[in-house]
Amino acid sequence: MASLVFVTGGVVSSLGKGLSAAALAAILESRGLKVTLVKLDPYLNVDPGTMSPFQHGEVYVTDDGAETDLDLGHYERFVRTRMGQVNNCTTGRIYSNVIAKERRGDYLGATVQVIPHVTDEIKNWVVRAAEGYDVAMIEIGGTVGDIESLPFLEAIRQLGVEYGRKAMFMHLTLVPFLRAANEIKTKPTQHSVKELRSIGIQPDVLLCRSEIELSEAERSKISLFTNVPCKAVITALDARNSIYDIPTMLFDEGLDDIVIERLGLEDKATAANLDDWKSVVDRTINTTHEVTVGMVGKYVEHHDAYKSLTEAITHGGLRHRIRVNIRRIESDDLADNDLSSLEGVDAILVPGGFGERGFEGKVNAIRHARENEIPYLGICYGMQAAAVEFARNVCGLENANTTEVDPETPDRVIGLITEWLDASGKVEQRDEESDLGGTMRLGGQECRLREGSLTRELYGREIIIERHRHRYEFNNHYRDIFQKNGMVLAGLSMDEMLVEIIEIADHPWFIACQFHPEFTSSPRDGHPLFTGFIEAALRYQEGELPQGVAQL
C-alpha cells in the first residue's frame, strides 16, 4: 500500500503547491522511492481542455491523451514517472462519474449525497492513482476555506484516518514580511491552520513561504499556535537561482527526512543523490553564451499560457551553457508587417494556439525567418502557419489558408481531415457543431522520420513518440507541390496518412511539427528539437560554429 502525502495551501493561491510537491517528489525519487503525483482540482470543468489560457494557463497533455492542469508539467519535469488520465481529477469529473453511477442504479436506490458518495469517488480515485507506488503526492488545488474544495478536503481527511501513519498532511502558507513595520507576520499562517483544523485536518508539516528566513523564535511561535513540531515548520524561500534549485533547498531544510520518518519508509529509502539537480542549476547560472529567441504568440501577456514551452526553450540551452532570453511578441502586432520587434533575434518560434486572431502576424514572422535564414521552430499552429506561408509565397497559391481561419479559402492547405478526403479536395462534410472537448487528436503517437532529414539527425532514430493536441491537418492534396518547391516532409504518421513534420531543404534550420515537443522536455534530459534549435540560434548569432559546440 502506497503512503500518501496530501499537499494543501492557505492564505492566497499561487504559493507554489505544485512546485513544492514536485520538488519533494524529486528528493524522494533520488532516495530510491517510487513516486507519483496527483492533482485534484476543485473547478467544475471536466478537464481544462476548453478553458482559456488567460484564465488557467496552458493545457498540459499526457501520453495517454489527458488534457490536464499545468502542474502535471511540473511533475514530469521533476520526476521520471509519466503522468496520465489518473493523475488529474476535477470536481466536474467526480460529479460526472457519480451521476453516471446513479443513472445506472449502482447506488441501489440510495439518496446520493456529497458524503459518502462524492467523497468515496474522490477517495477511490486517489487510491487507484497511488497503486503500485511507494509514495503518492496528492495536491489539492485552490485555497483552504474555498467552498468548492470542501468535498476534496473531507475526502483526504477520511483517507488520513483510514491510512493512519501511512498518510501525512503538508500545508503551504504565506508568512508576509511587512516592510513598513520591518517584521514578519505569522497571523495569516495561524488562521490558515485554524481553518484546516476546523474541518478535521491537523498538518504534519508547514511550508512557510516568506521573503526572508524565519528565525527560531518565529518558527517556535508558529509551532505553538498550530500544534506542528518546530522542526516541521520550514521556511520556503523563493528559489535562489532557478525553480530547479527547490529540491536542494528543501533537502537542506530536512523535509525528506521528516516525511520518510513520519511514513515509516526508513527501510526502503537510500541516501539522497541530488547531483543531477545541482548540475542543472550550475548550467543555468554559469553560462558561456547568450541568445535571444523571438516567441510570436497570442497569449504572451500571460506567462503560464506557455509554461512548458518557456521551460523547454531554457532546457535547450543547458547542454552547452547557453542562456536563452525569450522575447515575447504579440502576434497581433505583426499583422501589418511591422517586424521591428523581431530585430536582433537569433531565432524565431511560433507556438500552438487556436482561432483566427493573430494568425497573419504569425505568417509574417515565419516569412521573415524563411527569407532571412533565421532558425525557425514551429509547433502545432506554428507548423500550420508555416505551411500557409510557404504555399502563398513559395508555391504561388496567393489565397492559401487554413480553414480554421478562412473556411472559404480556395487552397485549404490545412483543414479538417473530412475536408480533403475526396479526390477533389472539396468539402465533403463539416462538423460545425462538434463538441470542442472531444474532436482533437490527443496524446502520444508514433511518427516515422525521413532518412536524411535534419529532424532524423537531431533525434538519432527513425521512430519517435510525441504528444499531440490539434484538430486540423496538412492537406495531402498539396504534398506534391510543396515537395517540388523545396519542402521536405520530414515526418509522417506510421500509416503515412498524416504529415507530422516539415522542413525547408535550402534553409539552415527550419523545422515545424504538428505535435508539442515541449511536453516531453525535462531539465535533466532536454529535448532534441529544442537543443538543436537553441544551438542553431547560437550559430546564427556567431556566423560560424563556436569552438566547443558540437556540430549537429
3-class DSSP assignment, residue 61: strand
* Contact indicator for 23, 70 with CB cutoff of 8 Å: no
Rounded-to-10 torsion of CA 415, 417, 419, 421: 140
Query: What length is written for the chain?
Result: 552
Q: What is the DSSP string of 14-59?
A: -S-HHHHHHHHHHHHHHTT--EEEEEEE-SSSSSGGGS-HHHH-PP
Cell 503526492, located at residue = 137
Q: How is residue 245 annotated by DSSP?
A: G
In angstroms, rounded to a whole number, what is the distance separating the alpha carbons of residues 11 and 209?
11
To the query of whether residue 230 is one of the catalytic residues in this protein, the response is no
Among candidate residues 218, 198, 256, 242, the one with its CA nearest the CA of residue 30 = 256
Reading the block at residue 237, the C-alpha cell is: 524561500
Which one of 74, 315, 320, 516 is the catalytic residue? Answer: 516
Containing 183, the helix (H) or strand (E) segment is strand 183-184
* Contact indicator for 93, 40 with CB cutoff of 8 Å: no
In angstroms, rounded to a whole number, what is the distance separating the alpha carbons of residues 474 and 387?
8
**In Å, what is the CA distance from 325 to each residue of 339, 341, 366?**
18, 14, 19
Which one of 121, 154, 208, 380 is the catalytic residue? Answer: 380
**In Å, what is the CA distance from 512 to each residue of 255, 352, 379?**
43, 11, 6
Q: Would you tell me how many other CB atoms lie within 10 Å of the CB of residue 119?
A: 22
To the query of whether residue 516 is one of the catalytic residues in this protein, the response is yes
In angstroms, rounded to a whole number, what is the distance separating the alpha carbons of residues 293 and 538?
10
In angstroms, rounded to a whole number, what is the distance separating the alpha carbons of residues 72 and 84?
9
Q: How is residue 543 annotated by DSSP?
A: S
Cell 511560433, located at residue = 350
Reading the block at residue 100, the C-alpha cell is: 453516471
Among candidate residues 441, 387, 386, 380, the one with its CA nearest the CA of residue 413 = 387
Among candidate residues 521, 517, 532, 514, the one with its CA nearest the CA of residue 382 = 514
To the query of whether residue 446 is one of the catalytic residues in this protein, the response is no
Containing 501, the helix (H) or strand (E) segment is strand 499-504
* Three-state SS sequence of 522-538: ECCCECHHHHHHHHHHH
Give catalytic residue positions: 380, 516, 518
